[in-house]
Amino acid sequence: MGYVAIADRDHEQEHHDPQTFITKYVWSQDHKVIAIQYGCTAIFVGVIALILSAMMRLQLGFPDSFSFINPENYYQFITMHGMIMVIYLLTALFLGGFGNYLIPLMIGSRDMVFPYLNMLSFWVYLLSVLILLASFFVPGGSTGAGWTLYPPQAISQGTPGVDWGILLMLASLGVFIVAFTMGGLNYVTTVLQARCRGMTLMRMPLSVWGIFIATILGLLAFPALLVSAIMMLLDKTVATSFFMPAISTMGVDSGHTGGSPILFQHLFWFFGHPEVYIVALPAFGIVSDLLSTHARKNIFGYRMMVWAIIAIGGLSFIVWAHHMYVSGMNPYFGFFFATTTLIIAVPTAIKVYNWVLTLWEGNIHLRVPMLFAIGFIFTFIHGGLTGLFLGNVTIDLPLSDTYFVVAHFHMVMGVSPILVVFGAIYHWWPKITGKMYNETLGKWHFWMTFLGTYSIYLPMHYLGFAGVPRRYFAMGNTDFLPESAQDLNAFITMAALFVAVSQLLFFANVIWSLTKGPKADGNPWDATSLEWQTPDNPPKHGNWGHDLPECHRWAYDYSVPGYKDDFIPQNVPADIAPAGREHGGEH
Amino acid sequence: MEIGLIALAIILASLLGWLLKQSFNTTPWIADVAPEADHQAPFNARPKLVALTTFLAVATSFFALILSAYSLRMDFGDWIPLTEPTLLWFNTAVLVLASVAFQWTRNVALNDRVSQMKLGLMASGVLTAAFLIGQMTAWQQLNASGQFLTSNPSNSFFFLLTGTHAIHILGGMYVWGRATLKAYSGGAASAVKHSVELCTIYWHFLLLVWLIFFGLMLST
């Protein structure tokens, strides 16, 4: 019974009970407040990255029409856009934001196991964001090395931000990794140690599974980025030669001797590929819960879904070199990495089939979170299928440096997770704030975002096939490109600006809800998982009032035959409501 | 990258085995009336131990990746093997002693022999500090003989390996410092005992890392 004592350790909770405004909202140790702090910071930097992408699109759609965009800052925009979106927005929002909010509530705990460390994690994350943003203002500006920061150009003269920008970028990444590790240790330990009575691992909602496995991936993969950042910092500051080859510029020797840029690529992508799944797995988990709840049907093949998450997580560590086909490698390696890459499609496809089968004959409610969840299935299938093209060495080589790749990865790890982020925010908004949002505004937000992003990225595939190179500031005299390519580029820019402006609807909805929104019921979606069963809405500090919940069933008892309601919450025992189905709930 | 992959495979395999045990033969869709006893948490409620174990996995990944980089970089033509200072043998012996001291401290702490535990804590700390001073002296010896950080990639790796290892030890020293202060100011014996247990595991881990590093550097 020792573990109940941990989850219920009231005596320990007391000393971080918030007393003042400062301890309640600023130096807070409550996981819900920390989640909101993480979320707001991540969305704030995300908006900056969105504006940067609009600037890039302006140049690409209407070349040389804007005096404030030159080749140098174009590359700075690319770099900062990519890095912010992948790390400081998506990773932080899914794990720091949703991880913090959902884990304790969904597993029936009062808080994270180490609340102080949790608080520290947010403030260190904020520090990393500030260091990153500071690089906009240092002499030479932020780094323009591209988000992959490949040496030698990342730290060679001629690349924007080579003096200060790159240093701040590397420092910021290091600080971020420290913050993430503090948070990650907390999430893993909390899932393993603070589950309420009856909450077995195989009863956890898939959101928790996704976040849990993604956290483990992050904990094992981020060290690769840390190692490469440390080594590149040394190459840059004291002229070691880990990555830097001997280079002579204008007759001046750089002082480096035969380092290996490919070594950096290995380390970077050893982190970089799992990073895709650090972002994708929480999205997979959350989308499963949204679909099940709003289709009033149990998730199809729960155990298969859990094992697919685990399999994808494991496989994600042995595919990294598919990002390096164009760097050149032994053909047998290429064959190996192509094979492992394509194998990932198997568990991923299982998940997609199961989502669709969950919708099959469900009682689908097309509320805003559900729209976003279904939208995700579309964009993810598209992005996933183009991934099968690029996973093959022979197809990747001609396409790798074109807009086809840009279209692919934005579809699969840009648009798809962002749709889930919005779906999740709308879904849990009544729990987080205690207010309802405006359904009409939300639906407009969805359709404008969904159709808008399709208008951006579907044509981009054609640009890629036509051979339009990515990373270029301007196309110049490229005779092989038809003039219509530029027309398409102008259209894409218009669509991108449209999508960017559409996001104002989201913020309008936030303001509307907080000021005029009607009070939300504690369980507006008639959902089963524990976070909807809290005694207060929004949950107070400690989440559960006097007694911790007891878990008696999985989170997917929707429309169980023979029961008056179409949902049975996880804390309802089998002698009050039916004990479930006979055949794995897959009927 | 083989070293990184092997370390990772071991970590993932143990995780996988444990998950299999948790999920094999379960029927999640069947509800119960009262949770069964075997639904209890797996680690008997020791969150700090779980967090430490998880952190050791992170650190293993970190060090294994540095070693991967080491072995990849070594194959390039400009690599000149470094002659390690003899002092490192002495430092290694001191770190072994520190680890032994921690193990002894843990044993007496578990038997509630408080005064011996205080003594053990002090001895472990002093030995560890001696190791760190020894490492710094080795750095100075190398510098004095003209072997600088940038002289050769093997030098750079030597400083990187010893430096990151030392930083991890310093992190451990922070926990050791808090536990020692608590022990000497008469703090709760159970808390000190738990810290000593965790420190002991951490020190053994860092000793193992050091032995692997040292062995690799000697053999290349």
Q: Is residue A449 included in any domain, yes or no?
A: yes
List of residues 6+ apart from A20 with CB closer than 8 A: none
Q: What is the pLDDT of residue B17?
A: 85
Q: Is residue A440 included in any domain, yes or no?
A: yes
| pLDDT tier, A17 (very low <50, low <70, confident <90, very high otherwise) | low
- Nearest CA to A277 among A350, A222, A336? A222
Is a pLDDT exceeding 60 seen at residue A460?
A: yes
Measure in Å the smallest separation between the Cα of B87 and chain A Cα atoms: 25
Q: A-chain residues within 8 Å CB-CB of B27? A: 584
Contact A554 B29 (CB under 8 A): yes
As a whole-number percent, the residues of chain A with pLDDT over 70 amount to 96
Tell me the C-alpha distance between A570 and A550, whole Å: 8
Q: Is residue A536 included in any domain, yes or no?
A: no
Using alpha carbons, list the distances in angstroms from residue A372 to A348, A360, A514. 19, 17, 21
Contact B29 A227 (CB under 8 A): no
Tell me the C-alpha distance between A56 and A54, whole Å: 5
Using alpha carbons, list the distances in angstroms from residue B131 to B125, B138, B177. 10, 10, 16
Choose the closest CB to A580 out of B29, B66, B153. Answer: B29
Any idea which of A48-57, A391-400, B71-80 has the lowest mean pLDDT? B71-80
Q: What is the pLDDT of residue B38?
A: 52
- Nearest CA to B201 among B46, B40, B89, B65? B46
Q: Is residue A488 included in any domain, yes or no?
A: yes
Per the prediction, chain A carries an average pLDDT of: 92
Contact A257 B26 (CB under 8 A): no
3 state DSSP class of A233: helix
Contact A219 B58 (CB under 8 A): yes
Contact B54 A223 (CB under 8 A): no
What value does the mean pLDDT take over residues A90-118?
96
Interface mutation vs chain A, best among B15, B40, B65, most A CBs within 10 Å: B65
Q: What is the pLDDT of residue B9?
A: 86
What value does the mean pLDDT take over residues A132-155?
95
Give the number of other CB atoms < 10 A from CB of residue A587. 10
Structure tokens at B198: 């965790």
Ordered by start, the domain boundaries in chain B are 2-25+41-219
| pLDDT tier, A583 (very low <50, low <70, confident <90, very high otherwise) | low
Q: Name the residue of chain A whose CA is nearest to B16's CA.
A: A310
Give the number of other CB atoms < 10 A from CB of residue A261. 16
Contact between A280 and A344 under an 8 Å Cβ cutoff? The reply is no
Domain count, chain A: 1
Parent domain of A474: 380-518
Contact A200 B39 (CB under 8 A): yes
Q: ipTM, 2 decimals?
A: 0.93
Q: What is the pLDDT of residue A91?
A: 97
Tens-digit pLDDT profile for residues B1-27:
778 788 888 888 888 888 887 777 788
Q: What is the pLDDT of residue B212?
A: 95
Tens-digit pLDDT profile for residues B98-125:
999 999 999 999 998 889 999 999 999 9
| Bridging pattern class, strands A248-249 and A252-253 | antiparallel
Q: Where are the alpha helices (DSSP H) in A238-260?
A: none
Q: B-chain residues within 8 Å CB-CB of A238? A: 149-150
Q: Is residue A420 included in any domain, yes or no?
A: yes
Tens-digit pLDDT profile for residues A382-429:
999 999 999 999 999 999 999 999 999 999 999 999 999 999 999 999
User: Phi/psi at A170 (nearest 5 deg)?
Assistant: -65, -40
Tell me the C-alpha distance between A10 and A16, whole Å: 11
Q: What is the pLDDT of residue B49?
A: 92
Contact between B73 and A260 under an 8 Å Cβ cutoff? The reply is yes
Q: What is the pLDDT of residue A582?
A: 63
Q: A-chain residues within 8 Å CB-CB of B44? A: 2-3
Which DSSP string do the residues of B71-84 spell out, in sequence order?
HHHHTSTT------
User: Phi/psi at A37 (nearest 5 deg)?
Assistant: -60, -45
List of residues 6+ apart from A61 with CB closer than 8 A: A489, A490, A491, A492, A493, A494, A496
Tens-digit pLDDT profile for residues A422-456:
999 999 999 999 999 999 999 999 999 999 999 99
Contact between A310 and A342 under an 8 Å Cβ cutoff? The reply is no
Contact A259 B30 (CB under 8 A): no
Q: Please give the residue that has the higher pLDDT: either A64 or B39.
A: A64
Q: What is the pLDDT of residue B37?
A: 57
Tell me the C-alpha distance between A232 and A166, whole Å: 10
Q: Is residue A165 included in any domain, yes or no?
A: no
Q: What is the pLDDT of residue B44?
A: 53
pTM attached to this predicted model:
0.94
Contact B153 A259 (CB under 8 A): yes
| pLDDT tier, A252 (very low <50, low <70, confident <90, very high otherwise) | confident
Interface mutation vs chain A, best among B1, B21, B29, most A CBs within 10 Å: B29
Tell me which CATH code domain B2-25+41-219 carries.
1.20.120.80
Q: B-chain residues within 8 Å CB-CB of A223? A: 58-59, 61-62, 65
What value does the mean pLDDT take over residues A233-254?
89
Tens-digit pLDDT profile for residues B151-178:
899 999 999 999 999 999 999 999 999 9
Contact B50 A189 (CB under 8 A): yes
List of residues 6+ apart from B100 with CB closer than 8 A: none
Choose the closest CB to A201 out of B23, B34, B152. Answer: B23
Tell me the C-alpha distance between A146 and B67, whole Å: 27
Q: Please give the residue that has the higher pLDDT: either A384 or A328.
A: A384
